[in-house]
């Protein structure tokens, strides 16, 4: 139970706003339509006509009940199962958006014993308790939280721009279409098995950390489980060395691949990965193996439908285009790795800002911290 400051009025939503729903269906959406069309999704569709022209907060009636919120001030249309809360009295619309989106899921959970909320009914919104600070304080709270949102949005936009630049550089550099300054050596087409040893044999240790096909997501190792040699799964065969690449051969379109750069760890991967060990630059090869051209070639050589997989011998024969000079391989990898590190740094900054905003919402929307107005 939250105790609000004594000078905050406690009301409920049907006393401070109008609650209605849209009247449209998803089929009414039009690509590149003139107006925003709010459906039961975080994504906003477009439409060529509008039903509302006002300041409003919208939430999905189902398909994401208690988790999807939008703020709009202007012309828009809404799906028939989207609630439109508008015509605010004594409450700033943006302040309403922040308090409502922060607390509504907890409110609707009171109406169900299930872990998920199937749908929202009007009384869930109408009867929700709503604290009202002095109006200028509402505006100050909304302004402070909007500043956080603006910074987070700017970081999101910057990350996407950096990703696009990185993807373009990756495609150009790994294909040899763009050369780094100081390198003009030959590039050649070779079989993958001529560039890296595939599935080198090795004896398993008595105890090891086992990585199966569910343990790698993207390029990140999410976890492992400890196994003993005598009781380990039969697919536990690929003992990792520093610099080994593990390429997912089952459903390779998922691109869950891992460059092993751990030290002093006995880690064994499943035979659902091909293990590649190269005397060339491993980071360059790792980047190349994630390229569309290479993955598409792999898929063309897969067998099976539900679980398409490529045989190691077929993988070995796939041709790759590479620079002979290992220094050029290394330079390309360093450039792209630096870009990845910059993007990762921005992602960390964004995540920190989201956490700071969450803390600020907890403080400002309960009155634990008051703003001078």
Tokens of 349: 């900054």
Angle at CA of residue 250, ends 213 and 262, nearest 5°:
40
Cβ atoms of 260 and 244 within 8 Å: the answer is yes
* Phi, psi for 356 (deg, rounded to 5): -65, -40
Handedness of CA 114, 116, 118, 119 (dihedral sign): positive
pTM: 0.80
pLDDT at residue number 111: 78
Give yes or no on whether 9-132 and 133-163+327-373 have one common fold: no
Strands 69-78 and 52-60: antiparallel
Residue pair 227/239 in contact (Cβ under 8 Å)? The answer is: no
CATH top class, domain 133-163+327-373? mainly alpha
Token reading at 226: 């400890």
CATH of domain 186-324: 3.90.220.20
**To which H or E segment does residue 350 belong?**
helix 326-364
Which pLDDT score, from 0 to 100, does residue 110 have?
Answer: 83
Residue 355 corresponds to which tokens in the numbers above?
A: 């956490």
pLDDT value for 63: 83
List all residues 6 or more positions away from 345 whose beta carbon is below 8 Å from its beta carbon: none
Distance between the two ends of the chain, CA-based, in angstroms? 27
Alpha-helical runs (H) found in 243-307:
282-289, 292-300
- d(CA 3, CA 164) in angstroms, rounded, equals 47
- Let me know if domain 9-132 sits in CATH 3.90.220.20: yes
| DSSP conformation letters of 7-72 | TSEEEEHHHHSEEEE--B-GGG--TT-SEEEE-SSSSEEEES--SEEEEEEEEESBSSTTT-EEEE
**The two three-digit tokens of residue 331, written as one number:** 């330079």
Residue 264 is predicted with a pLDDT of 79
- Residue 162: left (phi > 0), alpha (psi -120 to 50), or beta? alpha
Domain ranges of the chain: 9-132, 133-163+327-373, 186-324
- Give the pLDDT of residue 118: 76
Per-residue pLDDT of the chain (373 residues; tens, 9 = 90+): 789 999 999 999 999 999 999 999 999 999 999 999 999 999 999 999 999 999 999 999 988 888 999 999 999 999 999 999 999 999 999 999 999 999 999 988 887 756 566 789 999 999 999 999 999 999 999 999 999 999 999 999 999 999 999 999 999 999 999 999 999 999 999 999 999 999 999 899 999 999 999 999 999 999 999 999 999 999 999 999 999 999 999 999 999 999 999 877 899 999 999 999 999 999 999 999 999 999 999 999 999 988 899 999 999 999 999 999 999 999 999 999 999 999 999 999 999 999 999 999 999 999 999 998 8
Report the pLDDT value the prediction gives residue 117, as an integer from 0 to 100: 67
């Amino acid at each position: 139970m939250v105790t609000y400051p004594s000078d905050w009025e406690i009301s409920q939503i049907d006393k401070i706003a109008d609650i209605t729903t849209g009247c449209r269906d998803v089929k009414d959406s039009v690509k590149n339509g003139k107006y925003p069309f709010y459906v039961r999704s975080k994504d906003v569709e477009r439409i060529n006509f509008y039903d509302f022209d006002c300041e409003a907060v919208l939430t999905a009636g189902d398909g994401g009940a208690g988790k999807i919120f939008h703020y709009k001030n202007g012309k828009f249309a809404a799906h028939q199962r989207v609630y439109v809360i508008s015509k605010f009295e004594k409450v700033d619309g943006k302040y309403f958006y922040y308090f409502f989106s922060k607390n509504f899921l907890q409110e609707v959970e009171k109406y169900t014993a299930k872990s998920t909320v199937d749908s929202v009914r009007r009384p869930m919104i109408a009867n929700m308790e709503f604290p009202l600070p002095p109006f200028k304080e509402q505006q100050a709270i909304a302004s402070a939280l909007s500043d956080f949102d603006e910074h987070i949005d700017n970081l999101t936009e910057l990350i996407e721009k950096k990703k696009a630049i990185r993807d373009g550089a990756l495609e150009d550099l790994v294909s040899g279409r763009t050369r780094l300054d100081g390198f003009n050596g030959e590039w050649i087409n070779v079989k993958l098995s001529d560039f890296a040893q595939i599935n080198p044999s090795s004896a398993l240790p008595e105890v090891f950390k086992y990585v199966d096909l569910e343990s790698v997501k993207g390029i990140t190792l999410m976890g492992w489980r400890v196994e003993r040699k005598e009781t380990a799964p039969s697919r536990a065969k690929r003992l990792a060395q520093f610099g080994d690449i593990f390429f997912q051969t089952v459903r390779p379109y998922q691109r869950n691949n891992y460059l092993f750069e751990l030290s002093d760890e006995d880690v064994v991967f499943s035979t659902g990965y091909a293990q590649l060990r190269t005397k060339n630059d491993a980071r360059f090869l790792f980047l190349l193996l994630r390229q569309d051209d290479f993955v598409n070639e792999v898929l063309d050589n897969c067998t099976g439908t539900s679980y398409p997989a490529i045989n190691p011998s077929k993988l070995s024969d796939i041709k790759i285009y590479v620079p002979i000079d290992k220094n050029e391989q290394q330079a390309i990898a360093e450039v792209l790795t630096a870009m990845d590190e910059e993007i990762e740094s921005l992602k960390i900054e964004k995540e920190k800002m989201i956490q700071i905003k969450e803390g600020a919402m907890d403080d400002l929307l309960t009155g634990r911290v008051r703003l001078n107005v």
